[in-house]
Structure 1
Amino acid sequence: MDFFSDNHMWRDLLLQAILILVTIFMFLFMYNVPQKYFSKLRFRNRADMQSKRHFVQGAQLLSQAKSAAVKDRSNAISLAKSAEAQADLAIALDPKDAAAHILKALALDLQGFKTSALDSIDVALSPLAVKSLSEPERADALFKRAQLRLAASRREQIDSVIGDLTQSVRLKGDNVKAFCLLGDCYEKKGLKEEAQKAYQEAQKVQPNFAPAREALDRLNSES
């Protein structure tokens, strides 16, 4: 008798649970909650596609600007400004995409705005956006930030530059220019042994790389 009573009780509880779920789903559909969710999802996907399109257009304009820089500086500046505008549109749609911030930094750098370019690449490497970068991409961004810090006359931040370059070569160990810049920074700090190691690493990657060979010859002659 108790067995049948327990079965009856569980059946009642199950029916009540089903009725509650049905009521919840009716409420959701009544207020268009699923439609709102899918509309939001569609909007996010559409915004992402638009952001990528602006990024691609900006990258193409930047490539044209770099090609024109040698022969026609004014045209290169105009193209770089257009690339910056496309980067801004991409950022407005997806501010967490580090690639768009890097594109803006490169466009600003080509226009000669080193400090503004540095600000943009700082955003790309911030917790907000850096997760969108692969390790090689992050290495390239760190190398570029080190270059911008030096170009923006922020040599007092030499320790920060060394930090960026150390991370860069750890993430991507085939950038001879990063190793050489790291060696140069160590020299500026009077760290001759560390500088030699950096130049030697550059030679391991590219044995005939002239700047690394010349730097090592100079350091050895000073011994």
Structure 2
Amino acid sequence: MERVDAWMACFALAMALVWGLARWNGMLGGGRSGWWRRKSQQRADCRQHFMAAAHLLARARRQRKELADEGRRSRGKSSSLARDAIRECDVAIACDPRDAAPHIVKALALQHLGHLTAALRSLNTALSPPASKSLTESERVEALIKRASISLDAFKTKRGVKAAIADLEECLALDSSPQSAAADAARQMLASCYQRMGGGASRVHE
């Protein structure tokens, strides 16, 4: 699970960087019309809030890790940063609700705060149309793995396991490469799910 969390943190920050560069390129290559300039500015504002959210979440994770390393329990600062990240995500979502990225980062921030059901709602939005159309195949795989992980934590019953199995099977349908770290993580999680359901690990995709 720690490997999945690390990948998702890197995934969120990578999206912030890629989309930040895309925003810059869009501003350089934008048209001359007032409409285009307004649309370009709106997109730039959305990305700015998204990048701020990703940065705040990274700081929250780093703060929590430092506290854990020091053996301290107080999480006030880390939680405050995560709440700030959620607020930035909400602004970005209001700008462009069809962009999956802010929904995913919001889900990660909610998970950081322990609000697992709310985190699942945000991931459900990101993985459903129209927001899902903005995801690449690899991004969808990462988001599905994260949703499966949260489902297992949120629901300590067969409901959570069945939901996780559905997501992990979709992951492997999209990416079953032996060289894929995401696929490897999905296989390991799926094997654990099948064992919890009493089916053993033999059903896992090869």
| TM-score when normalising by structure 2 | 0.73
Q: 1:137 aligns with which of 136, 139, 144?
A: 139
Instruction: Give the C-alpha shift of residue 197 in structure 1.
Output: 5.6
Give the distance between the partners of 1:160 and 1:73, measured in 2 at CA. 30
Give the distance between the partners of 2:189 and 2:125, measured in 1 at CA. 23
Q: What pairs with 1:11-50 in structure 2 (closer than 5 Å)?
A: 38-50=33-45
Give the distance between the partners of 1:59 and 1:108, measured in 2 at CA. 13
Q: What pairs with 1:1-223 in structure 2 (closer than 5 Å)?
A: 38-70=33-65, 71=67, 73-153=75-155, 155-157=157-159, 158-173=161-176, 174=180, 175=182, 176-192=184-200, 195-196=201-202, 198=204
2:19 corresponding residue in structure 1: none
How many correspondences in the alignment?
161
Instruction: Give the C-alpha shift of residue 179 in structure 1.
Output: 1.4
Give the distance between the partners of 2:48 and 2:121, measured in 1 at CA. 24
Give the distance between the partners of 2:36 and 2:119, measured in 1 at CA. 33
Give the distance between the partners of 2:51 and 2:174, measured in 1 at CA. 25
Residues 158 and 197 in structure 2, CA contact (< 8 A), matched pair in contact too? no
Instruction: Give the C-alpha shift of residue 44 in structure 1.
Output: 2.2
Unpaired runs of 5+ residues, structure 1, are 1-37, 202-223
Give the distance between the partners of 2:148 and 2:34, measured in 1 at CA. 43
Give the distance between the partners of 1:121 and 1:101, measured in 2 at CA. 6
Larger radius of gyration, structure 1 or 2?
1
Give the distance between the partners of 1:154 and 1:40, measured in 2 at CA. 51
Cα RMSD of the aligned pairs, angstroms, is 1.8
Task: Between the two structures, name the one with larger relative contact order (CA 8 Å, sep ≥ 6).
Answer: 2
| TM-score when normalising by structure 1 | 0.67
Structure 1: which 4+ aligned runs deviate by more than 6 Å? none
1:4 corresponding residue in structure 2: none
